[in-house]
Amino acid sequence: LPARVATDTEIKWVCGCCGALRPRYKRLVDNIFPEDPEDGLVKANMEKLTFYALSAPEKLDRIGAYLSERLSRDVARHRYGYVCIAMEALDQLLMACHCQSINLFVESFLKMVRKLLEADKPNLQILGTNSFVKFANIEEDTPSYHRSYDFFVSRFSEMCHSSYEDPDIRTKIRMAGINGLQGVVRKTVNDDLQSNIWDPQHMDKIVPSLLFNLQCQPGDIVPPASSEKEKESPAELTERCFRELLGRAAYGNIKNAVTPVLMHLDNHSLWEGKTFAVRCFKIIMYSIQSQHSHLVIQQLLGHLDSNSKNSATVRAGIVEVLLEAAAIASSGSVGPTVLEVFNTLLRQLRLSVDYELTGSYDASGNIGTKIIKTHEERQLQEAVIRTIGSFANTLPTYQRSEVMLFIMGKIPVPGVHPALTNAGSGGNEGTRMIQIMLLKSLVQTTNMLTALPNSFLEPLLSFSLMEDPEVRLLVLTILLRVIDRHDNTPKFSRISIISDISVLKLKVDKCSRQDNLFMKKHAQQLYRHIYLACKEQSSGPQHFETLYTLLALISMELANEEVVVDLIRLALALQDLAQTNEESLSVYNRCAVHALSAAYLNLICQLTTVPTFCQHVHEVIEMRQKEVPFLLPEGVFRENPKYVYICSDLLTFNAGDVLFQQSKITEVLGGSGYNTDRLATPYIPQFTGNTCLCQAMHSPLCLCWFIFPGRSILKCVFVSLVDSVGMEEQERERRRQVVEKFQKAPFEEIAAHCGARVKVILPPPSPSGTISSGYGQTQSRSVPVYEMKFPDLCVY
């Protein structure tokens, strides 16, 4: 017969039958499989295969391809023992080989892992996942340009949501999925050549899968108990993986990592429960780099704005999370947009008040489809107030003062904020509610009085004289918070006569230079508002107790010798106020003011440690206890005060020894070095003129605080800035003509006009006339400003 060349198929068949003719790498691979798969991998032959792969790295891709071929065949024939052996061999080769040809071998490896993950058998899925996790922990020497992990992200995420019937197997599958996602993140997060794992398409799968397992209730999981590591529950494993994911997030990836968390909480209505949402963001805040904390806070604020018309429980849940996040964030981590943070919170507070008063989420006042519950809105408002305080206290002092000033500027004043007086926001009631809530947010701030700007203190003190007693009490509480640096406030929670103040264990420091400067500038303001606050008819026990605490804190935190003298004068002036009753105070108010004065003088005499001063105060108190107990705190500030049974005429008692004598106090303190001239001068409130709360230049109404002569009290009045439209137009036309003249007229004409029309302001009679120098000579007085002649165009 003629000779014939064998075909490739025939050659392969012959080589397959004759082992000696097969390629060496195939023979080495075949030798690692025992006849009985239960015997496991043949270790001696595995060592030979590993040595061959290291010696001939160009054969590594063929070894991988052949192992993949065998594994696919064994999976199809349900020979799972050999499948396990093949995966074990692949794992060992991966761990041993780091040559440049590893990429082609990895492709075969990933193909086999994918085959296992696609199988229906849970054990194969877990086996493939374990191999992938081992591979993820290997640092490759050469980059890969074409490898994709999209399938693994999707498949592992699906495993995290497994609903397998057997709870034990379900737990194992879920834990395998979590480990797989962790492996994908480790493998890709630092590899610039891979698809960005932080892209939304991947984060939208990874993060919800982790949160699903983090949320699992104990009854939903059955932790396996084989090894120490496997005792970890899916929730515990998830938290560890979630922390690792967030810890790897760079500045530009924070948003993509947090957005799926917000969406998951929205989709599953998890804001209302608060507990899980707070837990999630605690993990986030503790895991990310501290300099990125403000990014998370900004996302929460944006999410709060986007849910402005959602239910109050949802908004309250977001605000509670903000509160916890602010507490965790390091000092100053709110970021560069500090005022934007507070502006968002204040806007939410205002919206909540509108919703509560109108009963609708629709600004037009129409009945909304959602039922607004008042108690839920109140809970939201309290949460916002706590969050504002928490944010403020994480800031440095200089920023905190700016925030307090910003909040003060947001407090509405009737006539200046017309939007608050329309029907849609509850009119005056809405204004009052917002005033109270913004003042409550200021109460959350800590001591920083000397750092406060003038533009904050003045309007704050003005609010202390409003008719609303709740507003006045909040202002006094704010003053306590910003003054108290040693936590002495709780020690004066009740106004009483303390025989020995040493039992209070007060913390008193020497007054600093900064404190002296502050009191020199603002002391008279504080005294004046304390004095005027005692005149308010609607003041109750809490007001007088807070005033007593305020006086005590000033004495301990800000007092030097001059301040002590002024405070004693103020206390004596309050006694005169109650005794003369020029303001027609009620019986209760007169008794309360007497009691306040007595309690404070009892305190200050012990702080000054002047024995004769203490003796006089104690003698008066003892006499009051015998004769007029209703002039002491114990007789006034009680459930059934004694003054109720006393006719107001009894308050016209003979002074005798039941009043503190200014002459006596001046004498005893003068002997101890205090300024007797100042002590002998009765205190009279110093008014600096009209203090306007607002400059309503474009509003027809201006709310001002005016001082009425003879009464020395402040009243809130509305003053019309224009009487008629005609007058307003005339004034506008006159101003236009003046401006036009200065813009267009020649200089000579303007100069001539200014020289011809001057306004002379005659000075009042001078009390001194001339100034005497220290050496007996007289000097001519320089012309004071009010005697100077100015052109009328320059005089306003």
Q: How many CB atoms lie within 10 A of CB 219?
A: 7
Could you write out the DSSP letters of every residue in 116-185?
A: HHTSS-HHHHHHHHHHHHHHHT---SS--SS---HHHHHHHHHHHT---SSHHHHHHHHHHHHHHHHHHH
Average pLDDT over residues 104-116: 84
Q: Domain range spanning residue 115? A: 20-143
In the predicted structure, residue 65 carries a pLDDT above the cut 90: no
Q: Which long-range contacts (CB under 8 A, 24 or more apart) does 357-365 make?
A: 357/425, 357/426, 357/429, 357/430, 357/433, 358/424, 358/425, 358/426, 361/309, 363/424, 364/424, 365/423, 365/424
The pair phi, psi for residue 587, each rounded to 5°, is -60, -45
- DSSP 8-state assignment for residue 314: H
Cβ atoms of residues 425 and 357 within 8 Å: yes
Confidence check: pLDDT of 148 > 60: yes
Domain edge (last residue) among 143, 167, 184: 143
Residue 680 is encoded by which pair of tokens? 């002998």
Concatenating the DSSP letter of every residue in 51-96 gives HHHHH-GGGHHHHHHHHHHHHHHHHHTT-HHHHHHHHHHHHHHHHH
The average pLDDT across 187-209 equals 82
Residue 707 is predicted with a pLDDT of: 32
Q: CA-to-CA distance for 461 and 523, rounded, in angstroms?
A: 12
Residue 788: pLDDT band by 50, 70, 90 thresholds?
low
Rg (CA), the chain: 41
* pLDDT of 739 above 70: yes
Q: What is the pLDDT of residues 691-727, one digit of tens each?
A: 444 333 333 333 333 333 333 333 333 333 334 445 6
Q: State the pLDDT at residue 697.
A: 32
pLDDT band at 745 (very low <50, low <70, confident <90, very high): confident
Contact 246, 283 (CB under 8 A): yes
Question: 103 phi and psi, to 5 degrees?
Answer: -60, -45
| Average model confidence (pLDDT) across the chain | 78
**Is 102 among the domain residues?**
yes
267: its two tokens: 């989709």
Residue 302 binned pLDDT confidence (cut-offs 50, 70, 90): very high
Amino acid at 279: R
What is the spatial distance between Cα 242 and Cα 424, in angstroms, rounded to a whole number?
46
- For 226-285, the pLDDT digits (tens) are 444 556 778 889 999 999 999 988 888 999 999 999 999 999 999 987 789 999 999 999
The three-point CA angle 564-565-566 to 5° equals 90
With vertex at residue 485, the alpha carbon angle to CA 479 and CA 487, rounded to the nearest 5 degrees, is 95
CA atoms within 13 A on the CB side of 765: 1
- Contacts of residue 11, Cβ cutoff 8 Å, sequence gap at least 6: none
CA gap 260, 200 in Å, rounded: 8
**Which tens digits make up the pLDDT trace of 446-504?**
767 666 777 788 888 888 888 889 999 999 999 998 888 888 889 988 899 998 888 88
Lowest mean pLDDT among 490-499, 549-558, 760-769: 760-769
Look up residue 682 and give its DSSP letter. Answer: P
So what's the pLDDT on residue 477?
A: 92
Q: Is residue 118 domain-resident? A: yes
pLDDT score recorded for residue 548? 94
Distances (CA, A) of 119 to 64, 126, 148: 20, 10, 20
CA distance 129 to 385: 49
The residue from 649, 669, 696 where one domain ends is: 696
Q: What is the pLDDT of residue 573?
A: 93
Count CA atoms within 13 Å of residue 233 on its CB side.
Answer: 13
Q: What does the DSSP assignment read for 478-513?
A: HHHHHH-SSS-GGGGSS----S-GGGG-----PPPH
Residue 227 maps to a domain = no
Task: Return the residue matching tokens 């129409």.
Answer: 366
**Region of poorest pLDDT, from 190-204, 217-231, 669-683:** 217-231
Residue 557: Cβ-neighbour burial (10 angstroms; 0-12, 13-18, 19+): buried
768 Rama sector, left if φ>0, alpha if ψ -120 to 50, beta otherwise: alpha
Dihedral pair phi/psi, residue 203, rounded to 5° = -65, -30
778 pLDDT more than 50: no
pLDDT digits (tens, 9 = 90+) for 570-623: 999 999 998 887 778 888 899 999 999 999 999 999 998 889 999 999 999 999
717: left (phi over 0), alpha (psi -120 to 50) or beta: beta
Q: Is residue 576 part of a domain?
A: yes
> What is the number of structural domains in the chain?
2
Q: How far apart are CA 444 and CA 427, in angstroms?
A: 27
The confidence score (pLDDT) of residue 144 equals 64
pLDDT at 704: 36
Considering only CA atoms, which of 210, 217, 215 is closest in space to residue 240? 210
Q: What's the pLDDT tens digit per position in 169-179?
A: 999 999 999 99
Reported as a single tens digit per residue, the pLDDT across 27-37 is 888 888 888 87
Residue 1's SS3 state is: coil
Look at residue 159 in the predicted model and tell me its pLDDT: 94
* Closest listed residue to residue 138, CA positions, set 92, 201, 169, 174: 92
The residue from 649, 681, 696 where one domain ends is 696
Largest CA distance in the chain: 154
The pLDDT assigned to 336 comes to: 58
Distances from the Cα of 580 to the Cαs of 310, 585, 590, 641, 711, in angstroms? 58, 10, 10, 22, 13
Query: Is pLDDT larger for residue 735 or for residue 353?
Result: 353
Tell me if residue 271 falls in helix, strand or coil: coil
Whole-number pLDDT of residue 458: 84
Residue 717 forms part of a structural domain: no
Whether 628 maps to a domain, the answer reads: yes
Q: What value does the mean pLDDT take over residues 535-556? A: 92
Closest residue by Cα to residue 283 from 256, 247, 316, 323: 247
Q: Which two tokens stand for residue 681?
A: 């001068």
Q: Both tokens of residue 138?
A: 């290997």
Share of the chain above pLDDT 90, in %: 26
Q: Choose between 519 and 108: higher pLDDT.
A: 519
Q: Is residue 43 part of a domain?
A: yes
Digit-coded pLDDT (tens) for 390-406: 888 878 877 888 888 88
DSSP 3-state of 559? coil
> Considering the domain boundaries, does residue 760 fall inside one?
no
- The structure tokens 């290997």 sit at 138
Give the span between the Cα atoms of 609 and 602, in whole angstroms.
Answer: 11
- Gap between the Cα atoms of 767 and 334, Å rounded: 58
Mean pLDDT, residues 94-107 taken together: 70
Angstrom CA distances, 707 to 581, 785, 796, stand at 19, 26, 23
- Joined together, the tokens standing for residue 578 give 């109650």
